[in-house]
Amino acid sequence: MISDTTGLYTDYYELTMSYGYFRKGRKDETAVFDYFFRTNPFDNGFTVFAGLRDLIEMLGHFRFSDSDLFYLKEQGFPDDFLDYLARFSFRGKIYSVEEGEVVFPHEPLLKVKGTLIEAQLIESMLLNILNFESLVATKAYRIRQSAGQRGFSEFGLRRAQGLGALMASRASCIGGADSTSNVLAARKYGIPPSGTQAHSWIQSFGSELEAFRTYAEIHGNNTILLVDTYDTLRSGIPNAILTAREMEERGTRLKGIRLDSGDLAYLSKKARKMLDDAGLNYVMIVASNQLNEHVIQSLLAEQYAPIDAFGVGTEMVSGKPDAALDGVYKLSAVGDTPRMKISENIEKLTLPGNKKLIRFFDADGYFYRDGIFLEEEDLSLEKVIHHPIHPEKSTTVSGLKYENLLQPVMQDGNVLIAEKTPARIHEYLKERIRLLPVEHQRFVRPHLYKVGISTEMLQMRSGLMQNGFSRK
């Protein structure tokens, strides 16, 4: 649980480096780190930034308890360093893009300014949260794209990676899920809970019809019946129809049926006809069972399956098939001195200095380009942004409307932004998607959104490369 987070939620090398800074008298030396990723997941045209609120909350609990310190003492850390950790809390400043923002590779999405030790200690936790939630939120948005206006619920608790299921539920709803089966996540994050029944409920009764009738008596208008326990077309749906007619006599209505196996296109068409023929056109059809955005798109756009809502679990909460977002956290300045990592692979060069991320808009108000600038640059002057790998390619952005995407969200232990529900963050995501040209939104071969670096940034990077800073 988030409230149980301690300073031990980190990789061991963060502690060994922090001890090194401490031993060499560098504990108060300041630094700037940037979080960014290198590739959009799922061959998508963009990524949905998520996880910020969980990160901020967990930073508030990032302390070293007496038992933590005792454990570290057993690992050989000396008393003076442990005394320092006993008083530790994160007091740095964090700048971030807004949660739910549409973002792209190589952009500094979150910036940490603080002491070397505090910025170093939080690295692993930061990457763990932002990489995972952004991955799942992006997957969920792709599912929302496929489902359109139809309902879709997150059903992934039993297949998720341990307690990551909580963050997966939250990220799924940021991406577009309407509800979750995960009750703890529903309570913690203000997400509507949802669920029907499992096959075990039906198997526990003497007959399928008895199971349906009993469930309907208890749950009334919220009843959705799972119809594939024995035989969907010859037993499940006929018994659901009989139950629905009995409910009508009591003044209630069957909400829906759920298909969880078999050929979903074929069965949903048969089910729709049977329900309509029985005068039950108001009964919805819900589908589940190993769904993803491609299956849903095929069901609706190619097979014309009359499915009204979907329950999606494994592939969404596990981020299948990509499994992980390749986000990284890199040092960009120590004090006022810029730093960068240099690699023979130009795509792995990092950008030095204290930066800001600027989004430019075209004449119609759509996203046009994103530019990475040094913090002190004056954007009122003539500005050009360059391709980060092929700097001979450039675009003039002078005179365009723009916004600064990096805003302060935490300082001196205080949270500077209001808490939002996942549903509200999804509304923000929809607002931003409307401003993204459609060629960047398509599933197949989306057009590459261009992100450039300023002339000053390019010159700084070239100078540091010549001097060989942080060569690896």
Q: Residue 268 belongs to a domain with what CATH number?
A: 3.20.20.70
Within this chain, do residues 10 and 127 fall inside the same structural domain, yes or no? yes
By the 8 A CB rule, do 212 and 243 touch?
yes
pLDDT of residue 472: 41
Confidence check: pLDDT of 100 > 80: yes
Counted domains in the chain: 2
CA distances from 294 to 265, 290, 319, 374 (A): 14, 11, 14, 41
Within this chain, do residues 199 and 170 fall inside the same structural domain, yes or no? yes
Looking at 190-254, list the stretches that DSSP marks H as alpha helix, in order from N- to C-terminal side: 199-203, 208-219, 237-249
Of 317, 342, 363, the residue that ends a domain is: 317
pLDDT of residue 178: 97
Rounded to the nearest integer, the mean pLDDT of the chain is: 95
For range 135-150, the mean pLDDT = 97
Within this chain, do residues 33 and 132 fall inside the same structural domain, yes or no? yes
Confidence check: pLDDT of 180 > 60: yes
Taking only the tens place, the pLDDT of each residue in 309-360 is: 999 999 999 999 998 999 999 999 999 999 998 877 777 789 999 999 999 9
Collapsing DSSP states into helix, strand and coil, what is residue 345?
coil
Q: How confident is the model at residue 4 (pLDDT cuts 50, 70, 90)?
A: low
Within this chain, do residues 56 and 160 fall inside the same structural domain, yes or no? no
Confidence check: pLDDT of 423 > 50: yes
Within this chain, do residues 259 and 362 fall inside the same structural domain, yes or no? no
Within this chain, do residues 458 and 341 fall inside the same structural domain, yes or no? yes
For range 229-245, the mean pLDDT = 97
Name the residue range of residue 91's domain.
2-136+322-467
Within this chain, do residues 286 and 165 fall inside the same structural domain, yes or no? yes
Burial 191-229 (b: 16+ CB within 10 A, else e): beebebbeeebbeeeeebbebbbebbeeeeeebbbbbbb
For range 84-113, the mean pLDDT = 97
Q: Residue 31 belongs to a domain with what CATH number?
A: 3.20.140.10
Within this chain, do residues 192 and 312 fall inside the same structural domain, yes or no? yes
| Residue given tokens 């899920």 in the structure block | 177
In a domain, 472, yes or no: no
Hey, what's the torsion of the CAs at 376, 381, 387, 391, to 10 degrees? -100
Within this chain, do residues 157 and 291 fall inside the same structural domain, yes or no? yes
Q: How confident is the model at residue 471 (pLDDT cuts 50, 70, 90)?
A: very low
Of 283, 317, 351, the residue that ends a domain is: 317
Counting beta carbons within 10 angstroms of the beta carbon of residue 414, is it exposed (0 to 12), middle (13 to 18) or buried (19 or more)?
exposed
pLDDT of residue 469: 55
In a domain, 225, yes or no: yes
Within this chain, do residues 411 and 364 fall inside the same structural domain, yes or no? yes
CA distance 211 to 21: 65
Looking at 300-355, list the stretches that DSSP marks H as alpha helix, in order from N- to C-terminal side: 314-317
By the 8 A CB rule, do 354 and 332 touch?
yes
